């Protein structure tokens, strides 16, 4: 099974903070599945070759720098062209445990549900109520009492859904195909930091339709702050529902997602990553001493479980607590999202990567960026994560050569 990373950046460089995570992600994925390929623009591909990341294939022909305005478009272009079963993993996703995708017996699998919605409403009712919410948001006057606005926001999590997905969908409503509108569902939208595809022919067709929708509405989608999520996670998901009856049935039972909920959530930090977060108490199966995430890892009674049963809380209250997480597997799975920019999580990633590539490998990365950051006014040679890691461990990223007497 082909395993894939994709990355394009309008600066034609993978920033140091991102590269540490991507390097670790590639190593972990390759350990589990025996291969990993990378798709990116020419400059980024050259960077990865210089730094010797462990890719079996580095492809610069399929995506390009101009694709980056809506950052999920390069991924969609890659999905569309793959002609074999595959897994696509976001470069900030770390698989400490192996996910046994075939065990789920699904044609497509995604990480977890992206936004919760009340499942008491039918598909049609949720579409109608979200449209009503959209109209209210467009017409509500600033003088509307705050208490009414708060009620609007809280109802069925409509505000979160509105900001991420439904606002843009209803804005483009006159340009939405009837066949898509008739099957559209706002419940069950998956987060696609992990994408497993067995039925690649149908998935490719869904991607083709999704890209067609994007290019027909490019200006509106590019301008919207959540355009990347809208086009990949909402439109692709709903085109797949439109053309694949089996997927609609799977979606109805939430069998299309691997985890009951977001594996890392309830994040409360003070800006630099110190604070707390919750991780799912993930069930594992073991085969030949290897921890596996399978369909039996999902809890059947999730809705009636207590928070204490569902989650384990991580506390990052000081530097010692950061060090204590150097050996944590985070329940087997970690999607860092915005946390990859936090010094605390950067320090954790650096230590885990150091265990894989050694002191020389870490220093090689630091040296590579040191020479490239020197002309950047707002970039210091040492990142905040490197500074914190050095403070906690005493590790020297740039030791002076020993003098020879």
Strands 108-113 and 2-7: unpaired
Q: In the chain, which residues have pLDDT < 50? A: 142-143
Smallest CA-to-CA distance from 228 within 68, 79, 337 is with 68
pLDDT tens for residues 247-293?
999 998 899 999 988 898 777 777 777 888 889 888 887 777 788 99
Domain ranges of the chain: 1-99+259-397
Dig out the tokens for 403 from the structure: 């003098």
Whole-prediction pTM: 0.92
CB under 8 Å to 39, separation ≥6 — which residues? Answer: 4, 5, 6, 7, 59, 60, 62, 63, 74, 78
Torsion of CA 35, 105, 110, 89, to 10 degrees: 0
Tell me, what's the pLDDT at 162?
Answer: 87
Token look-up 């950061």 returns 322
Maximal CA-CA distance, the chain: 81
At 37 the three-state DSSP class reads strand
**What phi and psi, each to the nearest 5 degrees, are found at residue 6?**
-135, 140
Percentage helix, strand, coil, to 5, in the chain? Answer: 50, 15, 30
pLDDT tens for residues 187-243?
899 999 999 999 999 999 999 999 999 999 999 999 999 999 999 999 999 999 999
Other beta carbons within 10 Å of 126: 22
């Amino acid at each position: 099974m082909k395993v894939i990373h994709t990355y394009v950046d309008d600066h034609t460089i993978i920033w140091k903070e991102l590269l540490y995570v991507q390097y670790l992600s590639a190593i972990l994925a390759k350990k589990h599945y025996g291969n990993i390929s990378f798709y990116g623009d020419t400059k980024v591909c050259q960077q990865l070759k210089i730094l010797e990341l462990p890719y079996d294939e580095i492809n610069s022909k399929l995506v390009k720098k101009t694709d980056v305005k809506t950052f999920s478009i390069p991924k969609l272009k890659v999905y569309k062209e793959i002609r074999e079963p595959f897994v696509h993993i976001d470069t900030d996703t770390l698989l400490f445990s192996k996910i046994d995708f075939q065990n789920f017996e699904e044609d497509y699998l995604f990480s977890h549900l992206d936004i919760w919605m009340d499942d008491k409403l039918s598909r049609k009712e949720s579409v109608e109520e979200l449209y009503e919410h959209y109209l209210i948001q467009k017409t509500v006057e600033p003088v509307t009492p705050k208490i009414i606005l708060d009620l609007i926001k809280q109802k069925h999590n409509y505000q979160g859904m509105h900001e991420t997905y439904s606002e843009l969908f209803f804005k483009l409503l006159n340009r939405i195909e009837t066949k898509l509108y008739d099957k559209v569902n706002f419940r069950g939208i998956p987060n696609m930091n992990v994408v497993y595809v067995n039925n690649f022919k149908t998935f490719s067709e869904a991607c083709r339709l999704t890209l067609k929708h994007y290019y027909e509405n490019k200006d509106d989608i590019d301008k919207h702050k959540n355009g990347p999520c809208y086009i990949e996670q909402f439109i692709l998901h709903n085109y797949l529902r439109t053309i694949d009856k089996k997927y609609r049935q799977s979606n109805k039972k939430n069998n299309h997602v691997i985890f009951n909920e977001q594996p890392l959530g309830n994040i409360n930090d003070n800006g630099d990553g110190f604070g707390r977060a919750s991780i799912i108490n993930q069930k594992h199966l073991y085969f030949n001493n290897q921890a596996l995430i399978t369909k039996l890892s999902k809890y059947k009674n999730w809705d009636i479980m207590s928070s204490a049963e569902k989650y384990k809380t991580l506390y990052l209250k000081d530097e010692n607590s950061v060090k204590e997480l150097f050996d944590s597997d985070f329940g087997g799975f970690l999607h860092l999202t915005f946390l990859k920019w936090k010094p605390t999580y950067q320090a954790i990633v650096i230590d885990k990567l150091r265990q894989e590539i050694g002191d020389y490998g870490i220093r090689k990365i630091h040296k590579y960026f040191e020479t490239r950051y020197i002309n950047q006014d707002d970039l210091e040679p040492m990142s905040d994560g490197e500074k914190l890691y050095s403070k906690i461990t005493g590790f020297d990223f740039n030791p002076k050569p020993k003098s020879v007497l």
